[in-house]
Amino acid sequence: MKKLLLLSCMMLGLTASAQIPLIEHVGGSVGVGTTGITVDVAARITDLFGVRAGVDIMPQIKINKDLNLGVDDHSLSIQQMSTYIDQLNQYLPADKQIDKSILPSGELPRKLDIQGKLSNTTGHVLIDVYPFGAKNSFHATVGAYFGGKKVVKVYNREEGALTVVNQWNNAMIEAQEHPGGSLNQEVVQKFNLKMIGAELGDYFVTPDPADNGNVEASIQVSGFRPYVGIGFGSCVPKKRIGCQVDLGVQFWNTPKIYAPTYDKSTKTFVGESKLDESKVGGDGSDVIKTITKISVYPSLTVRLTGKIF
């Protein structure tokens, strides 16, 4: 956040220094709106133009939920598969065995405690155009917001919660890679054991072992978001205190959904795989289709403005 504020102030400073002979007044503002809590510095450059730069601090909204874990093709339940851990370990090297000591009940986890977080703090640089000059505070605004690409994150709350799931899946992959071996013939194939994850059409969503038992899915947008809008009120008021209202939209491009997956055709994990709605079946396809249609973000902000000089 401090970096965004510093960058915004520097950009305003560069703009102002190039226009010093024309600057009439300098001020600042604080406000609230759909972009969060806004802090601005501003300069009125003649009666026709103003420039603002600042940060928009979005409170982090978190939602907690239990997610049911699934099994590839649903042939066995996770509870049923847990009874075969000891038999798998008989055929696995010591460094690849499933660690039952980290399982409180001795069973594979059937649920995952997840948290969803909205994270949308941004910086902005905006140029106000006052077509009626000093006679009227109506203005049109162009500029841009910029910030992190991940606006929504979903992840496990407990560190390393899926370590045993990774160990189990690695055992399944080991068996697939050696179909004639004892691990596959005596346990995996014999009892029809499968990987733990979620089938979404062509995708198999499951944690990447490289992430050490953690998993994260996200909705991502463009880090640079052009803005257009209209409003009332001067960025630097005529008197010491004033008010400014802005209404517009940020163009943040088509949102994309990323999740960790396992590609069965190449037998590789992808820690951050972009999900294509055409390859996601069932209700998941409808969800992705709905999310990817939201390519603009409405921006309504009410600011309390003040004049410095």
Does residue 64 fall inside a structural domain? Answer: no
pLDDT at res. 110? 81
Does residue 65 fall inside a structural domain? Answer: no
pLDDT at res. 76? 77
Residue with more model confidence, 258 or 5 = 258
Tell me how many domains the chain contains.
2
Q: How far apart are CA 305 and CA 21, in angstroms?
A: 23
As given in the structure block, the two tokens for residue 46 are 């003649």
Shared-domain flag, residues 197 and 284: yes
Spell out the residues 6+ positions from residue 208 whose beta carbon is closer than 8 angstroms to its own.
215, 260, 269, 270, 271
Q: Of 5, 13, 30, nearest to 306 (Cα)? A: 30
Q: How far apart are CA 97 and CA 61, in angstroms?
A: 39
Judge whether residue 30 has pLDDT over 90.
Answer: yes
pLDDT at res. 225? 97
pLDDT at res. 11? 43
| Residue 72 confidence class, pLDDT cut points 50, 70, 90 | low
Shared-domain flag, residues 92 and 228: no
pLDDT at res. 14? 41
| Residue 73 confidence class, pLDDT cut points 50, 70, 90 | low
Shared-domain flag, residues 78 and 202: yes
| Residue 4 confidence class, pLDDT cut points 50, 70, 90 | very low
Shared-domain flag, residues 289 and 300: no
Q: How far apart are CA 298 and CA 34, in angstroms?
A: 7
8-state DSSP, 23: E
| Residue 282 confidence class, pLDDT cut points 50, 70, 90 | low
pLDDT at res. 198? 82
As given in the structure block, the two tokens for residue 227 are 């803005």
- Percentage of the residues of the chain whose pLDDT score is greater than 90: 61
Judge whether residue 2 has pLDDT over 60.
Answer: no
Residue 262 DSSP SS3:
strand
pLDDT at res. 75? 67
What average pLDDT does the segment 137-155 reach? 95
Shared-domain flag, residues 12 and 103: no
